[in-house]
Structure 1
Amino acid sequence: MPVRAGPSPEAPIVGRLPPAVAYEGGLYSGRGPEFAIVEAEGGWFRIDAVYVPTVKDDDVEDVPLAVTGWIPGRAIYFQLQTAKGFSRPDPASEVVYRFGELTHPRDWLAVTDCRGKWAEIAYGTPQEERRMWVRGICAAQETSCDGVKGDR
């Protein structure tokens, strides 16, 4: 996945994120690069503090990757610890989705925005895209996180 100098597919490539590393361990059979999101603009996200899981001696070691830049929201995946999607990043706003069939991040079209502990997710089909705001995001790829739940 190319990492770009700006929030655009035309911006120069400043680095690359490697694909997920396959291994047997934890709850999943592989892990992808992990990073901090520091800014969002128009469906693009500026990332920093990137590290890459590397299989070493039947274990996984997190190796820092010296790259900072922008990636599209379709390249971002995480687990959710919530059962509701809201119309705005506010738990008092209208509930527009109750989780059922969107149990896996690959069912989403893209992450489209973020504000603090909230992420906006596009789902449905490209022809009938819908959006919802969620919180209770779990960044851990191997576990079910710390047990703290989002909105139920």
Structure 2
Amino acid sequence: MPRTAALTLATTLLLASLPSPAQTAAVAPAPTGESACAFGAFVAETDPAGLNVRAGPGTGHKVLGSLPPVRHSQDESPIRAMVEVEVVAGDNGWFKIQGARDNDALIEGPQRPMFKGSGWVSGRKLTVKSQAAAGRQRPDAAAPVVIGGPDGAGFDSDSFVEHARLLGCKGQWVLVEYGPWSGETGEPSALQIAPAARAGVEKGRMRAWVNRICAIQETSCDGV
């Protein structure tokens, strides 16, 4: 093979082995400013004092009330129950919620006292279930996949729900950061994670946009 042809072939093989720009660019950030959203989420607060609900998106705004923390039953197989909320907007990692309630199927007795109106809470204390087969680089069904697997990513499993926090939203799409997982459990197996999911993210974490949000807490979302 002539030297020029050999060099051309070697260059072609090298370029083919490199990640594409779509694979290495970071996952798209949340929209700037307040954006309208529509999905159900769960309150993942563990502080006994509960989660503050504020008049605006940030800690500088007045506290309007609070939402109870995660509750665990005293059964042999404890049941985790989280307050359920409707998310109607997002702004810089904060989310406007309404309709807070306990799930009667998980909580015995009367509903716990909680703020029932409309207000803002930190996305660090919210989590979601998603029936999406893959997490994407942008809030678009045609965007590159950054988190996936041969049988789907399983974003509605306890492993994902317990290690999630919300960063932003757009319509029915949610930007979620997952992790870090403990050394005992490790990341969910069989995941295919593109470099974009980890770009600019703390070690042990990954980000993706997911849709098909399922607000059913007490059982599997299969078929929803």
Shorter-chain TM-score: which interval? Answer: 0.7 to 0.9
Q: Does 1:107 align with 2:163?
A: yes
In structure 1, distance between residues paired with 2:102 and 2:162: 20
User: Displacement of 1:96 after TM fit?
Assistant: 0.9
The equivalent position to 2:202 in structure 1, one of 127, 131, 142, is 127
User: Displacement of 1:82 after TM fit?
Assistant: 2.3
RMSD in angstroms over aligned alpha carbons?
Answer: 2.9
Q: Using CA pairs under 8 Å that are at least 6 residues apart, name the structure with larger relative contact order, 1 or 2.
A: 2
SS of the residue 1:70 aligns to: strand
**Which one has the largest radius of gyration?**
2
For structure 1, which segment, 111-120 or 139-148, has the greater mean C-alpha deviation from structure 2 after superposition? 139-148
Residue deviations 1:10-47 (CA, integer Å, cap 9, x gap): 2111100001233379x970211111111110010010
Structure 1, gaps ≥5 residues long? none
Q: Which structure has greater helix proportion? A: 2
Cross-structure match for 2:145: 95
In structure 1, distance between residues paired with 2:108 and 2:91: 34
For structure 1, which segment, 31-40 or 139-148, has the greater mean C-alpha deviation from structure 2 after superposition? 139-148
Cross-structure match for 1:117: 172
Q: Give the alignment's TM-score, normalised by structure 2.
A: 0.55
In structure 1, distance between residues paired with 2:83 and 2:73: 14
Q: How many residues align?
A: 143
In structure 2, give the amino acid aligned to 1:13: V
Moved over 6 A (4+): none
Structure 2, gaps ≥5 residues long? 1-50, 181-200
User: Displacement of 1:94 after TM fit?
Assistant: 0.7
User: Displacement of 1:124 after TM fit?
Assistant: 5.1
Identity %: 34
Q: Give the alignment's TM-score, normalised by structure 1.
A: 0.78
Q: Which structure has greater strand proportion? A: 1
Residue deviations 1:98-137 (CA, integer Å, cap 9, x gap): 12798422223x2111122211112356634643110121
SS of the residue 2:177 aligns to: strand
